Amino acid sequence: MPDRGPAKASRAKASPAKAGPAGASEPVPRARLDVRKTYKLFIGGVFPRSESGRSYPVRTPGGDLLAYAAQASRKDARDAVVAARRAVSGWSGATAYNRGQVLYRVAEMLEGRAGQFAAEVAAAEGLTAMAARARVAAAIDRWVWYAGWPDKLAQVAGAVNPVAGPYVNFSLPEPVGVVAVLAPAASSLLGLVSVLAPVIATGNAAVVAASQDRPLPAATLAEVLATSDVPAGVVNLLTGYQAELAPVLAGHQDVDAIDLAGAAPASAADLERLAAGNLKRVLRAQRDSAGPDAAGAAGTEPDWAASPGTSRMLAFTEIKTVWHPAGI
Amino acid sequence: MAGTPQLADPAWAYAPAPESAGIVSIAPEYGLFIDGQFRPAAAGGQLATINPATEEPLARVAEAAQADVDAAVTAATVAFERVWRPMPGAERAKYLYRIARIVQERAREFAVLESLDNGKPIRESRDVDVPLAAAHFFYYAGWADKLEHAGLGPQPRPLGVAGQIIPWNFPLLMAAWKLAPALAAGNTCVLKPAETTPLTALLLAEVCQQAGLPPGVVNVLTGAGATGAALVAHPGVRKIAFTGSTDVGRQIAAAVAGTSTRLTLELGGKAANIVFDDAPMDQAVEGIVNGIFFNQGHVCCAGSRLLVQESVLDEVTDRLRTRLAALRVGDPLDKNTDIGAINSREQLTKICELSDAGEAEGAQRWSPACQLPQRGFWFAPTIFTGVSQSHRIAREEIFGPVLSVLTFRTPDEAVAKANNTPYGLSAGVWTDKGSRVLWLAQRLRAGVVWANTFNKFDPASPFGGYRESGYGREGGRHGLAAYLDA
């Protein structure tokens, strides 16, 4: 299908300018021309275009052109890993209370942009406005749910262990470090939030490859993160072709774990083999044919609206156990 | 003066206190333990296992091939579906309690057999390996009917057949670490002990028989790497638990890629043991010695990199030399022995090669004068000083009684050097300052941090690594997660 110029993804409806005979001295009344957004990457807290200079067309499920997104290169992916690694010590070293506050701030910013996200999700996923609003609301509520976890997970997942001897012994969860996330292909915002929030709630830094075909809500989420006191580098968002980005992230020696949620089924085994190179923790994709996105771009995705539980957080934490003698 | 004993007087000569090898009877041959019975390998393959302290053969054991792996997995699958999964947890618990008790009752046999087959001192097999193995069964027995309270989810379910591959450094203890949580959670097991140390796993199989454990719930396949690889590749296995080298761990992770087989790995380490200038020095020196010379250094969490604050380097190394000179190397069955035999010629070659590399790269090597037996595999306790972070002996796991000593000045430098490794299994800290202990404990990237102690283990305490030391935890409530679908 030939490009027909960007379709509307924003709420602003421009009424068509009336063309008609006009006097030579009288200007034609025109609706204001809207300012379109350039969708960029989000690396280390700034918004570069791809270092490769490439972009790719993003279309609605019906084939209409929505916009051009930056097509991240392998170099962009490696830069994002560097930025994430730099951010780990600060973010994981922040108090759990502080991380919870920052995450809640993200939810506040999401709420303020709910209308924009609804329009983008509707356009990306081919949903009615009402259905898109419901998904956005679920995404915001999901984020709020995770915002409450940083100062509770250690109490739920940690333990004081009654060892047979004069020792104090306790276990607690710690972030694994840098986590690569292949975001769900179909669920452009709720799915993305469902995989990203648990990674950073637990103190990790993330490098996210957004849905290849539905990347625009992710690019807008980056703008929210940039204005929510999330330290630079804690979340890095790449748009582009998964076949290009995923192997770099799966094989990267300075990535500690990878979430294959959105991995193309045909590539998942290869990515897991690459991840074995430095023994990354791998969270395999859970496929659920009953999910609402069963007919979506990913084939089958789990029902992202379902209650998530703690498993995604625990997948990206390590249990550390500390022993100390008790004596005089 | 007549009648006054001199130090050189024969009256003061060393008097060994050997445990009797006759406590345990070793059969000339052992079969595979499949579906509750011992049977020869289908293809008739056998391996010899030897006493590493004498190089004398102990027994011949069956070498399982593909047909045997198939038979064991089939037996385990049937037992899972018909017997073990449907059985109430409280009944499973009682079987595990029985096993724990029989291991306690036959503790002397297990200890002697372990020292004969592995080469470790009887003092360690008697006081550490065997009691801890019994304790693991006892601990997890109590979980079998309480799984819904483990915090993993309201209805945790067992996975199915667990393939479990264990190393030669703690043969019985690793079998217990693997079997006890798997069985408590309702899984059935196919256990593959290490090629060089199969005997205590086979004795444990006999204990399972004596406990009346239903056939097929536990199967033991002796063999070498090919047997393990066949088990990993078997489509009927739902879960692989492996303890061993990082290289093999990588191969297993790649082998299960793209399947739904669950995997936990407990791999190598190069632990830092950090000694500050305010450390309680007597305890620290004992802890350093225990950290690296326990079990001949055949310990994945061994404190093989000693990081000493520069101001106390001379004091620490002087005390270490004095202490090492008092270590007794020799007969594993002698109750006085501190350091036994290296487990195999292959491992001895590796230790020698890395130690030679340490010298070649410029570190200073020291060992106390000690007489090593003529036969068997032996390596004197060794300290390298002047080690830099780039030396192979500071980077690679030696898995032997070899300590590399490095220095630091500030706490930040200690953390940076301790974490400068792809491994992350364990770490040690010695200091009298409580806030410093906790500050370091927060920053060391290791699954177990021993502060003012080292090499302590307990069934209630989770154990496992960060980074290339593997993933998943064994022990404690966390150890159940590896065997349950929650």
Instruction: Name the closest residue on chain B to residue A253, using Cα atoms.
Output: B422
> Under an 8 A CB cutoff, do B478 and A159 touch?
yes
Q: How many domains does chain B have?
A: 2
Q: Tell me which chain A residues have a C-beta less than 8 angstroms from the C-beta of B455.
A: none
Shared domain check, B281 and B243? no
Query: A20 pLDDT exceeds 90?
Result: no
Q: Is residue B32 part of a domain?
A: yes
The predicted structure's pLDDT at residue B150: 95
What pLDDT band is residue A291 in, cutting at 50, 70 and 90? Answer: very low
Mean pLDDT of A292-296: 43
Shared domain check, B238 and B301? no
**Does residue B477 belong to the interface with chain A, where contact is any CB pair within 8 Å?**
yes
Shared domain check, B288 and B259? no
The predicted structure's pLDDT at residue A288: 60
Shared domain check, B304 and B223? no
The predicted structure's pLDDT at residue A328: 82
> Under an 8 A CB cutoff, do A321 and B458 touch?
no
Shared domain check, B291 and B145? no
Of chain B, the end-to-end C-alpha distance in Å amounts to 78
Shared domain check, B245 and B215? yes
Q: Is residue B252 part of a domain?
A: yes
Shared domain check, B306 and B233? no
Which domain CATH number covers B180? 3.40.605.10
Query: A15 pLDDT exceeds 50?
Result: no
Question: H/E element holding A300?
Answer: none
Range(s) of the domain holding residue B224 = 21-267+468-485
> Under an 8 A CB cutoff, do B461 and A275 touch?
no
Q: Is residue B153 part of a domain?
A: yes
The predicted structure's pLDDT at residue B6: 56
Which domain CATH number covers B326? 3.40.309.10
What is the token pair recorded at A262? 């959105």
The predicted structure's pLDDT at residue A287: 72
pLDDT means per 10 residues in chain B (486 residues)? Answer: 53 87 97 98 97 98 98 98 98 98 98 98 98 98 97 94 98 98 98 98 98 98 98 98 98 97 97 98 98 97 97 98 96 97 98 98 96 96 98 98 98 98 98 98 98 98 98 98 95
| ipTM of predicted complex | 0.96
Question: Which domains does chain A possess?
Answer: 65-289+301-325 (3.40.605.10)
Q: Is residue B3 part of a domain?
A: no
What pLDDT band is residue A299 in, cutting at 50, 70 and 90? Answer: low
The predicted structure's pLDDT at residue A29: 80
Output the DSSP codes for A87-105. HHHHHHHS-HHHHHHHHHH
Shared domain check, B299 and B248? no
For residue range A57-115, what is the model confidence (pLDDT) as tens digits? 999 999 999 999 999 999 999 999 999 999 999 999 999 999 999 999 999 999 999 99
The predicted structure's pLDDT at residue A13: 43
8 Å CB contact between A180 and A316: no
For residue range A143-172, what is the model confidence (pLDDT) as tens digits? 999 999 999 999 999 999 999 999 999 999
Q: What span, in angstroms and rounded, lies between the C-alpha atoms of B107 and B133?
A: 10
Q: Is residue B351 part of a domain?
A: yes
The predicted structure's pLDDT at residue B7: 56
Q: Tell me which chain A residues have a C-beta less than 8 angstroms from the C-beta of B470.
A: 279
Q: Is residue B16 part of a domain?
A: no
Q: What span, in angstroms and rounded, lies between the C-alpha atoms of B299 and B423?
A: 14
Q: Is residue B248 part of a domain?
A: yes
Q: What span, in angstroms and rounded, lies between the C-alpha atoms of B297 and B211?
A: 34
Shared domain check, B383 and B241? no
> Under an 8 A CB cutoff, do A273 and B257 touch?
yes
Residues of B known to be catalytic: 266, 300
Shared domain check, B248 and B109? yes
Q: Is residue B62 part of a domain?
A: yes
**Does residue A46 belong to the interface with chain B, where contact is any CB pair within 8 Å?**
no
DSSP secondary structure code for residue B81 in this structure: I
For chain B, the farthest-separated pair of C-alpha atoms sits apart, in whole angstroms, at: 81
Nearest neighbour of A164 by CB, restricted to B447, B458, B473: B458
What is the token pair recorded at B441? 């404990």
Amino acid, res. B399: F
Amino acid, res. B186: G
Query: A22 pLDDT exceeds 70?
Result: no
Instruction: Name the closest residue on chain B to residue A286, using Cα atoms.
Output: B260
Shared domain check, B307 and B231? no
Shared domain check, B84 and B57? yes
Instruction: Name the closest residue on chain A to residue B456, using Cα atoms.
Output: A323
